Amino acid sequence: MSQFDYIIVGAGSAGCVLANRLSANPQHKVLLLETGGSDKSIFIKMPTALSIPMNTEKYAWQFHTEEEPYLNNRKMHCPRGKVLGGSSSINGMVYVRGHAKDFDEWESHGAKGWNYQTCLPYFKKAEAWLLGEDDYRGGKGPLGVNNGNNMVNPLYRAFIEAGKEAGYSVTNDYNGEQQEGFGPMHMTVKDGVRCSTSRAYLDPIKTRNNLTVVTGAKVTRVLLDGRHAKGVEYALGDALITAKADKEVVLSAGPIGSPHILQLSGIGDSKILEKAAIEVKHHLPGVGMNLQDHLEFYFQYRCKQPITLNGKLGLISKGLIGAKWILNKSGLGATNHFESCAFIRSKAGVEWPDIQYHFLPAAIRYDGKSAFEGHGFQVHVGHNKPKSRGSVTVQSNDPAKAPKIQFNYLQHQDDIEGFRACVRLTREIISQAAFYDYRDGEIQPGEHIQSDEEIDEFVRQAVESAYHPSCSCKMGEDDMAVVDSETRVHGIAGLRVVDSSIFPTIPNGNLNAPTIMVAEKAADMILGISPLPSSTASSFVHPDWHHQQR
């Protein structure tokens, strides 16, 4: 038995933030538990090696979904970070906050006090934007954010120019006033090295005497005294250890881990718990429900000029890139290669962007392999405001057995139509004059894919997860809400959930930035600190969004 004030379960994107903020007061004794281990691998630190940790058992839970009925019964890969820094140590490092309206939407779903004006100060608190602080960007936070190699490859700027030629706006900062449009993309890289939350928030404070970090710890359940969380039980090697929390237990195990731990602890839908032979401690039907994710596919083209990363896939080229990065943390090793992007609306009548683009000057899979000979480029595109909903459900009272994951991708007709728009709008963009000197034939989907039926079948076969699971312990006040607007689990004292699982709806963008923001804001709530003053900064919405798509 060990005793602490706060116990944080999961040293990931949220957990490292909480460990930093809660242990800032030397009077608070904090325990941070993480199943994974060290994040010091070169493959985690080097931005260009991003595909390696994501696909490595040592650093990531290699979850897979059940057969997805609307994706031709494919089982989809769902990796989650299992290392200090969590998914911020295995992700693509793309920094996207989401549109201002995404957070207003949260508040409309019952998350009181989580609108854009109240969230923006916490985005700023977290960030050290390379260009400095303004009304939208933070300059003094722990999290380094920049644009990689500043779009040296001409294909990045060709993509932005093509969007402009197609009639879309150009935005210099999609994380500022205007998300909608084409522009440079931002990444969590600092001095050429991945800036995970472990590096940004945990490394500087590991020597605090009041902070205990335990790796290799698998939490099996939250310990309850009636309707009060009193601590956790966790396995460490062959030992089963009990840790007591005098103040609170905070689950930051992510959108798969947090609902699973709640269910293992007897908190969840009683029917699901009884089926798994788990004693029901508190019937809370929303646990594990409302699961959401982003899907995407690669739109690939051959390139006329030998300027793409496909020419850098040989062992000698990789060796030179690695050597330059090791020596001075610069060059192609210091970027995730997603250096330009876009956010557009799929059709008139959509108020804020629901389609996202990541542009890459290569035609290549996530495993780093090329599917063809020669040079090419691709743009990752996805419909980012899905209406399909899934679930995470415990299958057994054995904590070692993974939960059942079912997203029900493309269950909703609006999601299908959103991907049809992705195909047709992307083709129009890439057909612009800006790509004339580069574009040399469509590799994927292939020019023969034209009708709605052909597009739908291509999407079902080719679409992949963008690795943004979320919303499985949603915040709100309705019958299916799991936590309240203070991140406290409904009906259980001394227990909170703070990670992307508490998002009511998924934002239009990558999820690392909003997860960090949620942890920054929740830390003040946990400590009883007055929230940062609300921002008065405005946000852009197309003045005629009812009638114009661009």
Nearest to 200 by CA among 129, 96, 97, 127: 127
Alpha helices by DSSP H, 206-357:
254-264, 270-275, 315-328
Tell whether pTM > 0.95. Answer: yes
Query: Quick check: 283 and 262 in contact, CB under 8 A?
Result: no
Distance CA 34, CA 254 (A): 12
Q: Which residues of the chain have a pLDDT value below 70?
A: 1, 366-371
- Which CATH architecture group holds 148-184+295-383+410-462? 2-Layer Sandwich (3.30)
Q: Can you read off the two tokens belonging to residue 252?
A: 């930051």
Distance CA 202, CA 520 (A): 14
* pLDDT of the residue at 3: 95
The domain limits of the chain are: 1-141+189-293+468-535, 148-184+295-383+410-462
Distance CA 523, CA 209 (A): 20
* Kind and range of the H or E run holding 45: helix 42-45
Which residue in the block uniquely carries the two structure tokens 């959930």?
A: 497
Nearest to 342 by CA among 351, 329, 354: 354
* pLDDT of the residue at 371: 63
pLDDT digits (tens, 9 = 90+) for 22-56: 999 999 999 999 999 999 999 999 999 999 999 99
CATH of 1-141+189-293+468-535, one of 3.60.21.10, 3.50.50.60, 3.40.50.720, 3.40.470.10: 3.50.50.60
- Residue 107 backbone phi and psi in degrees, to 5: -65, -35
Residues β-bridged to residue 77: 64
Nearest to 18 by CA among 197, 195, 141, 138: 197
Pick the catalytic residue from 99, 186, 468, 542. Answer: 468
Distance CA 19, CA 212 (A): 9
Nearest to 474 by CA among 295, 294, 223, 284: 284
Residues 6+ apart with CB under 8 A from 74: 67, 68, 460
Distance CA 92, CA 224 (A): 37
* pLDDT of the residue at 368: 63
Residues 6+ apart with CB under 8 A from 475: 106, 110, 111, 114, 481, 482, 483, 484, 485, 487, 502, 503, 504
pLDDT digits (tens, 9 = 90+) for 490-546: 999 999 999 999 999 999 999 999 999 999 999 999 999 999 999 999 999 999 999
Residues 6+ apart with CB under 8 A from 151: 157, 184, 339, 340
Catalytic annotation present for 228? no
* pLDDT of the residue at 78: 97
* SS3 sequence of 334-387: HCCCCCEEEEECCCCCCCCCCEEEEEECCCCCCCCCCCCCCCEEEEEEEECCCC
What are the DSSP E strand ranges found in 109-159? 127-129, 143-145
Q: Can you read off the two tokens belonging to residue 76?
A: 């989809």
Is omega for the bond preceding 445 within 30 degrees of 0, making it cis?
A: yes
Using CB atoms within 10 Å of the CB of residue 481, give its burial: 0 to 12 exposed, 13 to 18 middle, 19+ buried. Answer: buried
Query: Quick check: 11 and 201 in contact, CB under 8 A?
Result: no
Return the number of other C-beta atoms located less than 10 Å from residue 360's C-beta: 24
Q: Give the end-to-end CA distance of the chain in Å, rounded to a whole number.
A: 60
Q: Which residues line the annotated binding site for FAD?
A: 83, 91-94, 219
